[in-house]
Structure 1
Amino acid sequence: MKSSGQKSRQTERLMALVAIALLLFCPPLIIVVDRLPSFNMSWLPLYLFCAWAVVIGLTALLMEHRAGR
């Protein structure tokens, strides 16, 4: 059984992940990425794909770490 210290640490990590996801997908940052100078290419789809992959990867890492204990 997990101690309360381990549960609170896991909760803190998940809350930090939510904060990172909110920051990555906040409209001002998306607008900045959308308006980057490019060579006939928009960086927005690449940014959204990479940011989503980072969030999914971190979520999987946290959940697997949690299940392993």
Structure 2
Amino acid sequence: MVNRTLWAQRLVALFLLGCLLFSYPLLALFDGGGEVFGIPRLFAYLFGAWALLIVSMILVIERSKR
């Protein structure tokens, strides 16, 4: 039961991190000109943040199965 509660708390924390990463103030920082490997900075940031959240969720869920 304790492990399930910890798992749920970590997923809620990841949700809040996602809300923070995709909030307007942070998106506005990357909205300026410039490119990363030929991709606009905003799109690179969005893809990177999205990938980070997915990998983090996979780690939390896989860790809870042990």
Question: What is the TM-score of this pair, normalised by structure 2?
Answer: 0.81
- Quick check: 1:25 aligned with 2:7? no
**Greater gyration radius:** 1
Confirm or deny: 8 A CA contact 2:14 2:57 kept in the other structure.
yes
CA RMSD of aligned residues (A): 1.9
> Quick one: which of 12, 34, 38 aligns to 1:38?
34
Show CA shifts across 1:6-36 (max 9, x none).
121111111111011111111221112112x
Instruction: Report the Cα distance in structure 2 between the residues aligned to 1:43 and 1:25, rounded to whole angstroms.
Output: 14
Instruction: Report the Cα distance in structure 2 between the residues aligned to 1:38 and 1:58, rounded to whole angstroms.
Output: 28
- Where has structure 1 moved over 2 Å in runs of 4 or more? none
- Quick check: 1:54 aligned with 2:64? no
Percent identical among aligned pairs is 33
> Quick one: which of 9, 15, 35 aligns to 2:12?
15
Indicate the SS of the match to 1:34: coil
Aligned residues: 64
Question: What is the TM-score of this pair, normalised by structure 1?
Answer: 0.78
Instruction: Report the Cα distance in structure 1 between the residues aligned to 2:8 and 2:57, rounded to whole angstroms.
Output: 12
